[in-house]
A and B are shown apart, each in its own frame.
Chain A
């Protein structure tokens, strides 16, 4: 039923246009019923987008190859799970997912703010409508998933790299993150349009930002794990432009989550915070543009198309409109207080912001420079990993250090005496850790040694914060240590959830440092029966198996693994030959040590099944790499603690707005 899908998208476009124009007119002329009508249009747009999505999903599941999109991205042999993930495996489906999530989030934001944030909502609705207009227009006029054709007997299949369980969740999570940043953007713009200088937009969008940031963070880690197990080059992050495209809005949102606390605590950085929200949203659009326009050479640019110019135009419109609005509202956003000391919590947040934004901008330059170079000079230039690694060290290491310093310093100012008392334990832990690691040979990588020492300092400061906070709570309220600890976290979820997130970043840093600065790589051609040694591992190539998978021919080399003379079982690595897609993928062998968190990673780079079955193996030993995935779980736990609603806070905010005799009806 492609007609229904097309009609639903046209209806969605009409509703989005109504939300934009009627909503804008209602907010400008203060018409209550029209404002509510525009809000209803956004909710109805979600219904229309859901119908369109249902039509596409149904066509995918029925293998209805009369839908061009279905024929281009699936095949009869494709397993059902990957047939579903083909929804976002192509450009048109991805845009539809964007629209579905956008209208869903918009409808939720409308429902949540109808009672408490009506004035702001009236202005946020047209902004949300504008974004929905862009995406529904793209789907109606430029890149429709409902184009039809004479149905071929079979489809072209899905890119083999996408045939991985992680692809079921990684792209949707990134989209949830990208689109989630629309809501804070819309409310920030709404506040500027309404000439509001208060914090209502921050209150309304605090959890949206946290949720979007969490989705982006988890989505990126899942993407890194996908790259690690599926792409088969032995790493998890290659500074690919599209990987960077997801990292940049995350960095901007991280900066915002820190600097917004300065606005809430001190009433400062209002302009900066609005700019960060605008930047994060524009970078989310840029990320979608990079992924889908095919403008950069990337494993993620599955398609090249004509949507690039439209996206670029919309990004320019968003940036120009937002900056114009900020400039015209500058007097409203002026801070009434100043930084009291360069040694204070807010100062460390400021340094943290500068470093995060600097890192974000250098990554942006690395992504954009090759595009500009090709456009202006006609030269194809690639910005490689050394560029990014240099800036990661230059900005990332100080950031890591600040993560430990920030929690130890009080707001406003700190004297040398209090600093000394706060720093002594974490700094002592860091020095002991650094000296111990140096003694064990970690000095082979100075950056690695510094990273580990800083990581010990941050972990020390987090533990120390929890210990002295729990002690103080127990002194105040009595009870057991456990109840004091629970009380401590429950009374300040954002702070202590944030510390847990910091701990996850430390684990990530340890994992990345261990697996990159201290890894070992060996390459060797082996025939059956031959052996190679890597560090304390010995691998013996036994045989090569050729078997038939669901939709691919699978070649697998079997290797026996020993360590220090003790058998660790076998491991297999090889390649899959996808017939329908006419592509070959690497299928790596990974053996994880649960105790040391180290991986033995085997790649069968060149398989020669027709001759003497010789294979060129590349074997990597990656110390501590599993900490990266554990960090993801800790990150999620910390983010959930920080996001968890606080009844006391809800009561306080309700009290604040009730006192103000907020408008009773809207």
Chain B
């Protein structure tokens, strides 16, 4: 029994060593062994993307809370303006040109940024029709599908911020 147990233990140890060595066995001479990490530009971009998602989520929630009556008209009017300004600012900052002019591009980000950054959509007035396009945002290209905020997705409402 002991010899059998020792044999099984040896098998286990060998299997574990193989599992641990697997990355080196698969790529004995890797051309690029660098573990990529977000550089300063990536981190800035991530912060901006989080800010964008956060503000869009806030806008959608504000819209929905206003519809449910949780937010009064006066609160809505006071809150929606600054939120829209922040959303526009975050969207604008995420545009490649804005970033390129603000931050040096790292090696990890050497490729051009993908497809146009989300262009801001015209924001609606809560109880009125579509408002005019914010003048500060030049890119007229169609925006990506507004994604729901973390667990706050309100597609019906998201249509309203176009």
Query: Quick check: is A36 within 8 A (CB to CB) of the other chain?
Result: yes
21 inter-chain pairs at a CB distance below 8 angstroms, sorted by A residue, are: A15-B20, A30-B36, A34-B23, A40-B23, A44-B15, A265-B57, A267-B50, A267-B54, A409-B70, A415-B74, A418-B70, A468-B69, A472-B67, A476-B67, A476-B156, A491-B148, A646-B148, A652-B147, A652-B149, A659-B49, A665-B32
Nearest CB of chain A from residue B69's CB, rounded to whole Å:
6
- Asked if B58 contacts A265 (CB within 8 A), the reply is yes
Contacts of A652 in B (CB 8 A): 53, 147-150
Chain A residues within CB distance 8 Å of chain B? 1-4, 7-8, 11, 14-15, 18, 26-27, 30-37, 40-41, 43-45, 47-48, 51, 118-119, 122, 194, 196-200, 264-267, 408-415, 417-418, 421-422, 468-469, 471-473, 475-477, 491-495, 646, 648-649, 651-652, 655-656, 658-666
Closest chain B residue to A202, Cβ basis: B150
Contacts of B153 in A (CB 8 A): 491-492, 646, 648-649
- Asked if A31 contacts B20 (CB within 8 A), the reply is no
Tally of contact residues, B, Cβ under 8 A = 70
- Asked if B9 contacts A4 (CB within 8 A), the reply is yes
- Asked if A4 contacts B8 (CB within 8 A), the reply is yes
- Asked if A410 contacts B62 (CB within 8 A), the reply is yes
Nearest CB of chain B from residue A468's CB, rounded to whole Å:
4
Nearest CB of chain B from residue A425's CB, rounded to whole Å:
11
Give the distance in Å from the alpha carbon of A32 to the alpha carbon of B43 in the complex: 20
Nearest CB of chain B from residue A461's CB, rounded to whole Å:
11
- Asked if A7 contacts B33 (CB within 8 A), the reply is no
Nearest CB of chain B from residue A352's CB, rounded to whole Å:
18
Closest chain B residue to A32, Cβ basis: B35
Query: Quick check: is B144 within 8 A (CB to CB) of the other chain?
Result: yes
Q: A47-B16, A666-B35 are in contact. List 16 more A-B contacts (CB 8 A).
A: A7-B6, A15-B16, A30-B34, A30-B35, A32-B33, A40-B20, A43-B19, A196-B38, A411-B58, A413-B79, A472-B68, A475-B67, A491-B153, A646-B153, A656-B49, A659-B114
Known: A655-B147, A656-B49. Is A11-B12 also a contact (CB below 8 A)?
yes
Contacts of B130 in A (CB 8 A): none
- Asked if A37 contacts B12 (CB within 8 A), the reply is no
- Asked if B1 contacts A1 (CB within 8 A), the reply is yes
- Asked if A199 contacts B33 (CB within 8 A), the reply is no
Contacts of A666 in B (CB 8 A): 35-36
- Asked if A661 contacts B111 (CB within 8 A), the reply is yes
Closest chain B residue to A491, Cβ basis: B153
- Asked if B19 contacts A40 (CB within 8 A), the reply is yes
- Asked if B71 contacts A418 (CB within 8 A), the reply is yes
Chain B residues within CB distance 8 Å of chain A? 1-2, 4-6, 8-9, 12-13, 15-16, 19-24, 27, 30, 32-38, 42-43, 45-47, 49-51, 53-54, 57-58, 61-62, 64-65, 67-72, 74-75, 78-79, 108-109, 111, 113-114, 117, 144, 147-157
Give the distance in Å from the alpha carbon of A421 to the alpha carbon of B15 in the complex: 66
- Asked if B68 contacts A468 (CB within 8 A), the reply is yes
Contacts of B2 in A (CB 8 A): 3
Give the distance in Å from the alpha carbon of A266 to the alpha carbon of B149 in the complex: 13
Contacts of B22 in A (CB 8 A): 36-37, 40
Residue of A122, A412, A655 most packed against chain B (CB within 10 A): A412
Contacts of A27 in B (CB 8 A): 35
Pick from A1, A414, A472: contact of B4, CB under 8 Å: A1
Closest chain B residue to A471, Cβ basis: B68
Give the distance in Å from the alpha carbon of A119 to the alpha carbon of B108 in the complex: 13
Give the distance in Å from the alpha carbon of A285 to the alpha carbon of B68 in the complex: 44
- Asked if B70 contacts A422 (CB within 8 A), the reply is yes
Give the distance in Å from the alpha carbon of A198 to the alpha carbon of B147 in the complex: 19
Known: A4-B5, A265-B54. Is A414-B75 also a contact (CB below 8 A)?
yes
Give the distance in Å from the alpha carbon of A197 to the alpha carbon of B50 in the complex: 11
Contacts of A122 in B (CB 8 A): 35
- Asked if B9 contacts A26 (CB within 8 A), the reply is no
Pick from A18, A44, A418, A658: contact of B72, CB under 8 Å: A418
Give the distance in Å from the alpha carbon of A473 to the alpha carbon of B67 in the complex: 9
Pick from B37, B61, B72: contact of A411, CB under 8 Å: B61
Contacts of A51 in B (CB 8 A): 12
Contacts of B46 in A (CB 8 A): 198, 200, 656, 660
- Asked if B12 contacts A47 (CB within 8 A), the reply is yes
Closest chain B residue to A477, Cβ basis: B156
Give the distance in Å from the alpha carbon of A595 to the alpha carbon of B126 in the complex: 48
Nearest CB of chain B from residue A490's CB, rounded to whole Å:
9
Closest chain B residue to A123, Cβ basis: B37
Give the distance in Å from the alpha carbon of A664 to the alpha carbon of B21 in the complex: 21
Residue of B8, B22, B23, B54 most packed against chain A (CB within 10 A): B23
Contacts of A194 in B (CB 8 A): 37
Contacts of A18 in B (CB 8 A): 20
Residue of B4, B38, B67, B114 most packed against chain A (CB within 10 A): B38
- Asked if A7 contacts B68 (CB within 8 A), the reply is no
Contacts of B150 in A (CB 8 A): 264, 494, 649, 652
Contacts of A409 in B (CB 8 A): 70
User: 3 smallest A-B Cβ distances: which pairs?
Assistant: A663-B36, A7-B9, A652-B147
- Asked if B67 contacts A33 (CB within 8 A), the reply is no
Contacts of B61 in A (CB 8 A): 411
Residue of B36, B67, B74 most packed against chain A (CB within 10 A): B36
Pick from B20, B47, B157: contact of A476, CB under 8 Å: B157
Closest chain A residue to B108, Cβ basis: A663
Nearest CB of chain A from residue B159's CB, rounded to whole Å:
9
Give the distance in Å from the alpha carbon of A559 to the alpha carbon of B118 in the complex: 75
Nearest CB of chain B from residue A578's CB, rounded to whole Å:
33
Contacts of A408 in B (CB 8 A): 70
Give the distance in Å from the alpha carbon of A44 to the alpha carbon of B22 in the complex: 12
Give the distance in Å from the alpha carbon of A661 to the alpha carbon of B112 in the complex: 10
- Asked if A119 contacts B36 (CB within 8 A), the reply is yes
Contacts of B69 in A (CB 8 A): 418, 421-422, 468
Give the distance in Å from the alpha carbon of A665 to the alpha carbon of B32 in the complex: 10
